[in-house]
C-alpha cells in the first residue's frame, strides 16, 4: 500500500476533494481527511480513556471522542496530538495515523484495524502532516495499491488545488532554515555543504518510530542510517552533521510538545 496525500489551505476545499474522490469511485475505506480542531460531532461524543507512550512525559495524545455512523457512515475520531493540538480524523486510516502521531486512537479502534492499516502508513511524513495541521491546513490521504493506482489520485488532488507533501515538507524546512543554519554554524564552517545531512538528521528525529524514545533506544537505527549515508556519499563526512541535526530535531519536537501543553 502507498499513501498519496494532498494538503489544502481550507477544510472546505479538502471536503470538496473528498466528495470528488468518492464520486470518482475511489474506495471510501481508503480515504481519510485530517482537519485541525474538533467538530461538534466529536465534542458530543463520549470521551474515552487516554493512553500514554513511553518517554512522552505528560505531553500525551488523548482521544477526545469517537463517533461511528450507525447507518454505515465513516468513522470519526477527535484526538489531541502532542505538539499540534486537537485534530479530527474522518475515515478508517485516521485512527491509525493519530495513534502513530501520539494519540491513543489505536486502542479505540482495536488491534485488528490497526494491523490492517499498518502497511503503507507514512510514518516518515507524519511530522509534515502535523506542521500543516498546526498552520490550519487540512489533509486528504488516499491509500493506493501501487504506483499505477496512485497516479490518478495525484492527478485528482492536483486538479482540486492540493499541495503535495514534498512541497509542504520544503516549506516546513524553509521556515526553520535560517535559525538552523545559524545554530549549526557554531560547530562547522561548511554549513551549506552539510545542510543535506543536518536536515536528514533533523527529520529522522521526528519520524514516528523514533521520536519520544530515549537516545540509547534509537542509537542502532541512527548508526545504520549514518552508515547508509556514508556508503551513498563516500568522503562527505555525513556523520557529524547528521548527529547534530538529530539532536536538534529532538529538541525541536520537545519544544512543540511543551508549547502545546502550556497552551
- The string of DSSP codes covering 3-23 is EEEEEESSHHHHHHHHHHHHH
Grade residue 46 by pLDDT with cuts at 50, 70 and 90: very low
Please state the separation of Cα 119 from the chain's center in Å: 15
**Section 175-203 average pLDDT:** 92
Give the residue numbers spanning the domain of 112: 2-164
Residue 244 or residue 94, greater confidence: 244
Final residue belonging to a domain, choices 104, 133, 164: 164
Q: Do 129 and 230 share a structural domain?
A: no
pLDDT given at position 62: 45
Q: How far is residue 68's CA from residue 47's CA, in Å, rounded to a whole number?
A: 14
Range among 152-166, 195-209, 220-234 with highest mean pLDDT value: 152-166
Q: Do 155 and 100 share a structural domain?
A: yes
Grade residue 136 by pLDDT with cuts at 50, 70 and 90: very high
Grade residue 53 by pLDDT with cuts at 50, 70 and 90: very low
**Section 225-239 average pLDDT:** 92
Q: Do 213 and 84 share a structural domain?
A: no
Q: Do 148 and 246 share a structural domain?
A: no
pLDDT given at position 39: 53
pLDDT given at position 73: 58
Q: Do 16 and 94 share a structural domain?
A: yes
- The overall pTM is greater than 0.75: yes
Q: Do 203 and 89 share a structural domain?
A: no
SS3 154: helix
Residue (of 241, 240, 245, 246) closest to 210 by Cα position: 246
pLDDT given at position 254: 86
pLDDT given at position 77: 81
Final residue belonging to a domain, choices 164, 194, 226: 164
* Mean of all residue pLDDT scores within the chain: 80
Amino acid at each position: 500500500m502507498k499513501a498519496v496525500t494532498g494538503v489544502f489551505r481550507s477544510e472546505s476545499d479538502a471536503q470538496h476533494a473528498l466528495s470528488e474522490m468518492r464520486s470518482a469511485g475511489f474506495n471510501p475505506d481508503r480515504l481519510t481527511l485530517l482537519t485541525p480542531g474538533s467538530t461538534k460531532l466529536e465534542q458530543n461524543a463520549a470521551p474515552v480513556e487516554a493512553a500514554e507512550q513511553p518517554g512522552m512525559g505528560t505531553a500525551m495524545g488523548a482521544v477526545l471522542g469517537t463517533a461511528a455512523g450507525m447507518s454505515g457512515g465513516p468513522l470519526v475520531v477527535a484526538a489531541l496530538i502532542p505538539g499540534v493540538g486537537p485534530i479530527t480524523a474522518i475515515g478508517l486510516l485516521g485512527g491509525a495515523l493519530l495513534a502513530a502521531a501520539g494519540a491513543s486512537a489505536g486502542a479505540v479502534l482495536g488491534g485488528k484495524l490497526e494491523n490492517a492499516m499498518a502497511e503503507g502508513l507514512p510514518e516518515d511524513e507524519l511530522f509534515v502532516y502535523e506542521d500543516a495541521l498546526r498552520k490550519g491546513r487540512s489533509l486528504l490521504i488516499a491509500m493506493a495499491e501501487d504506483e499505477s493506482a496512485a497516479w490518478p489520485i495525484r492527478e485528482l488532488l492536483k486538479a482540486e488545488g492540493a499541495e503535495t507533501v514534498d512541497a509542504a515538507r520544503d516549506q516546513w524546512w524553509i521556515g526553520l532554515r535560517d535559525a538552523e543554519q545559524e545554530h549549526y554554524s557554531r560547530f562547522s564552517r561548511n554549513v551549506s555543504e552539510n545542510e543535506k545531512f543536518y536536515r536528514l538528521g533533523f527529520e529522522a528525529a521526528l519520524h514516528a518510530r523514533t521520536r519520544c524514545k530515549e537516545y540509547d533506544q534509537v542509537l542502532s537505527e541512527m548508526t545504520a542510517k549514518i552508515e547508509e549515508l556514508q556508503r551513498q556519499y563516500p568522503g562527505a563526512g555525513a556523520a557529524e552533521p547528521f548527529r547534530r541535526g538529530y539532536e536538534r530535531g529532538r529538541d525541536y519536537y520537545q519544544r512543540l510538545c511543551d508549547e502545546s501543553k502550556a497552551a
